[in-house]
Structure 1
Amino acid sequence: MPRPRLRPAPPPRTPVPSTPRAAPPTIPRSSKGPARRRGSPDPPRAPPVDRFFGPSVPSPPIMRYTPLSRSNTMPATCTRRALLALPAVAGYAIAAPRTKMTIHLSAGSIGVKADQRQALDYAHRFGYEAIDAQAGFLSGLDAAQLRDFVAEMKAKNIVWGTAGLAVDFRTSEENFIRTLGAFPAQCAALQRAGATRVCTWISPNSNDLPYLANLRMHARRLRECARIAGDHGCRVGLEYVGPKTLWSARRFPFVHSMKQMKELIAEIGVGHVGFVLDSWHWFTANETVADLKSLTSWDIVSVDLNDAPKGRTVDEQIDSERELPMATGVIDVGAFLNTLNELGCDAPVRCEPFNAPLRQMAPEAALAATATAMKKAFDLIR
């Protein structure tokens, strides 16, 4: 008989690798009912996953933060769903700030009397970001008191603006030497507190000194001031005064433009001396955006922001009669601020309107009106 043909054994099967399924989310054991047993139906699938935000389940609350915007419109806590529902303007609150410049409350410049503690309270209440540094107050604090005051500033998101240069460099040599003697202690108090900017203005005329002699006197005296300030970590800002009605009011005109201020700063010859730039003086000196672009951010120690009355030519403007920023539109505040911002300016910006109606207001009304005007101007920064 023929032998039966045996069928060859099939080759061993090679297991086909399979892509492992993502493990389902851990399901916490409930107090109601037993845990799932082997062989029971699969648990419900995990909810769909959004490619950007993950599972479509309520997210945990975001941690508290301090809004970066100039208006505190963002809630202290919110979920992702609530965050996406916020309007676009609120989105600005968590974006990087558009400028390094700060809105500076200089209470005396708007006719409001305030000591250092009152200024801090006013700034916090009305939405300012910087305050004047008062060397007299700061020098009277011991180390613990100063530490507490600076900590309170930090907690309220307030930084230092500028301090005044309390040296009489404009009159007699005797007055200059006498007031210069107290300046090192004032600068030391500022340094202890972390304030780094000291500012003053330059009179645009003289009855006694011709331009060149006046330039040399100012350079010599301000050089001494600047060296003392620099020894204590402070920069010095100088403001030129632009209105023709002022610089032409005495026998000898003096520094009243950006170009002339550059000459004075060069004559002083100290690297940490720069400008206090005022939109009012920039306007009354018939200067342009191109003049602003000739500066660097380091050149700008402080900024003043003002508008001008309508109905007068540039040469007719009177220094003691100004307007709040954006009040009339005579001065292009937007071009002024945006140019400084493009330079990377990080200076404090205050308002100094010398405005009679503003000075007649109650303190809180004047503070609110000025804060509103400044924030409106800062909203123009692109």
Structure 2
Amino acid sequence: MIRSAFCTMYPSLNSRALGLDLPAKATLELASEAGFEGVDLMVRDIVEGGGDLRELRARMNDLGLRGGAWPLPVTWRADGERFAHDLGRLPKLAAAAAALALTRTGTWVMPETPERPESEAARADHLAAIGDLHLQRLGAIARVLAEHGCRLGLEVIGVASSRTGRGWPFVTRLAELDRWLGTLWDEAPNLGILLDGFHLYAAGETIEAGLKWGVDRVVWVHLADLP
């Protein structure tokens, strides 16, 4: 068990990650029956489907379930118009997550750049631009989430096959995060790490790599999130 100033680590069921497309109510029942202490919920689906947040929260309380995490509903790697649209909807969805005691979400950092300029100068400029995109957009997302008591975990994709070769490698190991995103730690106190056991292994890193920022920065842990 990880104990910190924020919380105690506890197992939480994410049925969607296991390939199960279940309604929220069924997810709660399954989590309880399987002995999980917490449950992750698809907040955007619940809100868009007109789900009753109070009813769901009451059932969570009845079952003794803690709120876990929820998927970040922002397509921040796309064009600016799509990002602005999703960011504008985030406060409503973050408020819904808070009502369900879901206090954490996460997203993955680009493992490679979208383009592959060949000259050294163009390559450096492109890498810097992608770094700035991460800083600006993830910072904006973190600020909105902070207003609703939610934390944002950053996941590094360590699997080599995730890099297509169409771009230059960007962040492929946790050890590379600070080079491009280090300034975010002070700007966004609610920002942290999403630790994925498989990606740690694939990148050749140990658990200590995810703890270099301190245990309080561990927002979310993935142990088995593929069907």
C-alpha contact 2:12 2:68 (8 A) present in aligned 1: yes
Equivalent residue runs for 1:1-382 within 5 Å: 100-136=8-44, 137=46, 140-141=50-51, 145-208=52-115, 210-247=126-163, 249-268=165-184, 269-305=187-223, 351-353=224-226, 359=227
Separation (CA, whole Å) in 2 of partners of 1:189 and 1:148? 12
Q: How many residues align?
A: 210
Separation (CA, whole Å) in 2 of partners of 1:252 and 1:98? 36
**Partner deviation per Cα, 1:297-339 (whole Å, 9 max, x = no partner):** 221110011xxxxxxxxxxxxxxxxxxxxxxxxxxxxxxxxxx
Q: 1:273 Cα deviation (Å)?
A: 0.5
C-alpha contact 2:40 2:70 (8 A) present in aligned 1: yes
Separation (CA, whole Å) in 1 of partners of 2:110 and 2:209? 21
**Partner deviation per Cα, 1:263-309 (whole Å, 9 max, x = no partner):** 4442333111011100111111111244244232221110011xxxx
Larger relative contact order, structure 1 or 2 (CA cutoff 8 Å, min sep 6): 2
Across the aligned residues of Structure 1 and Structure 2, the Cα RMSD in angstroms comes to: 2.2
Alpha carbons of 1:267 and 1:98: their partners in 2 closer, same or farther (altered >3 Å)? closer
**Partner deviation per Cα, 1:140-197 (whole Å, 9 max, x = no partner):** 35xxx53332222122121111111111111111111121111111111112222211
Residue type at the aligned position of 2:27 = A
Question: Once the two structures are aligned, what percentage of the paired residues are identical?
Answer: 27
> Which SS does the other structure have where 2:182 is aligned?
helix
Alpha carbons of 1:251 and 1:138: their partners in 2 closer, same or farther (altered >3 Å)? closer
Alpha carbons of 1:178 and 1:293: their partners in 2 closer, same or farther (altered >3 Å)? closer
Matched with 1:25 is none
> Which SS does the other structure have where 1:199 is aligned?
strand
Alpha carbons of 1:300 and 1:176: their partners in 2 closer, same or farther (altered >3 Å)? same
Q: 1:235 Cα deviation (Å)?
A: 0.7
**What TM-score results when the alignment is normalised by the length of structure 2?**
0.83
Q: Which has the larger radius of gyration?
A: 1
Unaligned runs of 5+ residues in structure 2 are: 117-125
Q: 1:98 Cα deviation (Å)?
A: 8.7
C-alpha contact 1:138 1:189 (8 A) present in aligned 2: yes
Separation (CA, whole Å) in 1 of partners of 2:131 and 2:2? 38
**What TM-score results when the alignment is normalised by the length of structure 1?**
0.51
> Which SS does the other structure have where 1:271 is aligned?
coil
Residue type at the aligned position of 2:131 = L
Alpha carbons of 1:280 and 1:150: their partners in 2 closer, same or farther (altered >3 Å)? same
C-alpha contact 1:165 1:199 (8 A) present in aligned 2: yes
C-alpha contact 1:138 1:190 (8 A) present in aligned 2: no
> Which SS does the other structure have where 2:183 is aligned?
helix
> Which SS does the other structure have where 1:211 is aligned?
helix
Residue type at the aligned position of 1:156 = L
